[in-house]
Every structure is written in structure tokens, then in C-alpha cells.
Amino acid sequence: MRFRTLTEGLSFAEGPVATQDGKLLCVEVLAGRLTAISPDGETRLVAQLGKGPNGAAIGLDGRCYVANNGGLSRADLACLAAGKDGDLATPPAGCVQVVDLETGSFDTLYDRCKDVPLIAPNDLVFDRAGGFYFTDYGNLRQATPARGRIYYANPDGSSVRDLGHDLERPNGVGLSPDGKILYVSETSTGMLWGFPVAAPGILGDRALIFQDASLAMDSLAVQADGRICVACPHNDLVVRVSPSGEDERFTTPAQGPSNICFGGADMRTAYVTCLQAGVVLIAEWDTPGLRLPHQLGQISAALQEQEDD
């Protein structure tokens, strides 16, 4: 793949989301903000979210949902990118936020599941039913480690459920084209897991799709043909994995690729955020990415249903 730089000067770029009008949203982890990027690379502040926004996705209501890790430092993020544990003086207190893209106003949607506080939400993906899965990276502290979790939540703030799976630093999350498999990457183990989806928010036993302990796996995106593209910041790679476990590797010209998404009329425009380099790369991909619910026109359908009600 031939990459070029779309924009630079970002403060730990993550969470890219391609919009239907040709723009890109991303979060800046260390600056605590959600940023819009025009096709010519010009940036604009959408919302100053605070703490450490880490992943983003657009819901069927047209709002942007953000997994906020609670405010990890640059040193903590370097440990995360390398797949290593840190030793935080204070554990993060993360949350899931929701942003009105028209006004930039935002609210905290979830900061706990029942009585258990969220630690470091990392990434999220919407299903076609309108709910979303999100990963919680867990606690990086060596003194009091806590394993990561997968949650399923309603976008109206009414319900969040722990899906009952302990994971080692779960990071990226995505759904197969038919919505029947939830993919989750583990940073510290280099593992990519597949969970069968029995119904929205109900997962079966996980199966190992791929493992390479030399890789520090970050966030991911799924192609239309079902292959999974995982950004690996410590390795400066995007690794593409088939559902049966075969892999291909693409080196990025900028340091620390953290996430990937697809957009464009033919879904072959790939955007790759790079943490340490502070840039967003763009490339013409050889295979279309999977259209996400907000890219399928379901936003307008959902809004029409609300008006009809």
C-alpha cells in the first residue's frame, strides 16, 4: 500500500471515523479532544472532551460515541503501544461519552457497569440493532492489576452489560460483515479473538483467530470480504488477518499506527492514525472496507422513525 500524510501535528491520534460527507473524525488522546479533518487536511475542534478519548464511533442517531480511557499519560500510552504493563500512580477512571456533532456539546453516558467503575474504555463498535460493544483495557498498574472486559451498551444510557469475558488488555473491536462474529484484539498477547454473536449483546465461547506474540495489537477495522486489519503501533505495521488466520503485513511510513478505518464512495480509502508521529495517513486500499451502520444510511432511517413516532 502507498501511504501519504493527510494531516499532522495531532496529539496522539486515535479513533478515526470516516463520515458520509467525506470528512474524518479522530480523537487526540493526550489533548483530550475530538477533531474533524477535511479532505485537504485542515483540522477543526469538535469537542474538548478531557481525560483521554481513545476510540470513536457514530451511532444510528448521528451522534459520536467516544471510549475515554480516563487520562493515561504519554508514558502510559507508550507502555500500552508496546504491549507492556506500566505502574500508574493513580488508576484511570474512564467513561463512555456521547457528542452532538452539530454543537460540540457532550455528556458522559456510562462511567460504571452497575456498581463497578469502568477503568479504561478503549474502542467501540455499533451493531445494526443500534447497540454497541466496547472494550475496557483494564488497569495498567503492576501493584493492583485488573484484567480487561467487553461490554454491550444501549446508546440512550439505559443499560450497560458486562459480557463476562476476562481478557489481557483488550483493545480493538469490530464485527464481521454478517454481524455474527465479534473480533477483539489483545495488545499484550498479540492475539485476535472471535466471539460468536448469538444475539445483540450475547456472545458464545471465543475462538483464537490469530496470534503473534511479537505484535502489540491496537485497534482494528474489518474489510467487506471479512478480513480484519489490525494496527500494531510498536511494530509500525497494519496486519491483515483472514478469518482462518492467514496474515499479510503492511509497513507504515509514520511511527505508531494505532487504528484504521475505511471511507470514500467505494470504501477503498483507508485512514490510519499514528500515535507517536501525530499524523493521519491515507491510502488507496486494494479491497473495500466494510460499510458501518452510519455509512449505510441507517442514520437518516433512524431519525425518520423518531419523527414518525
CATH number at residue 131: 2.120.10.30
In eight-state DSSP terms, residue 148 is B
Bridge-based pairing of strands 207-211 and 43-48 is unpaired
**pLDDT for residue 138:** 86
Query: Which of the four pLDDT bands, split at 50, 70 and 90, describes residue 89?
Result: low
Residue pair 246/240 in contact (Cβ under 8 Å)? The answer is no
**pLDDT for residue 90:** 58
Query: Which of the four pLDDT bands, split at 50, 70 and 90, describes residue 215?
Result: very high
Domain that holds residue 158: 3-308
Report the distance separating Cα 212 and Cα 283, nearest Å.
Answer: 25
Residue count (the chain): 309
Query: Which of the four pLDDT bands, split at 50, 70 and 90, describes residue 301?
Result: very low
Residue pair 287/225 in contact (Cβ under 8 Å)? The answer is yes
Residue pair 274/254 in contact (Cβ under 8 Å)? The answer is yes
Total number of domains in the chain: 1
Provide the b/e sequence for 4-43 (b: ≥16 CB within 10 Å): eebbeebebbbbbbbbeeeebbbbbbbbbbbbbbeeeeeb
**pLDDT for residue 145:** 64
Q: State pTM to two decimals.
A: 0.92
Query: Which of the four pLDDT bands, split at 50, 70 and 90, describes residue 306?
Result: very low
Of residues 165 and 6, the one with the higher pLDDT is 6
Nearest to 220 by CA among 125, 104, 102, 91: 125
Residues in a beta bridge with 68? 53, 95
Mean pLDDT for the stretch of residues 180-203: 96
Among the residue ranges 15-19, 179-183, 299-303, the one predicted with the least confidence is 299-303
What are 224-255's pLDDT values in tens digits?
999 999 999 999 999 999 999 999 999 999 99
**pLDDT for residue 276:** 87
Among the residue ranges 84-93, 123-132, 183-192, 200-209, the one predicted with the least confidence is 84-93
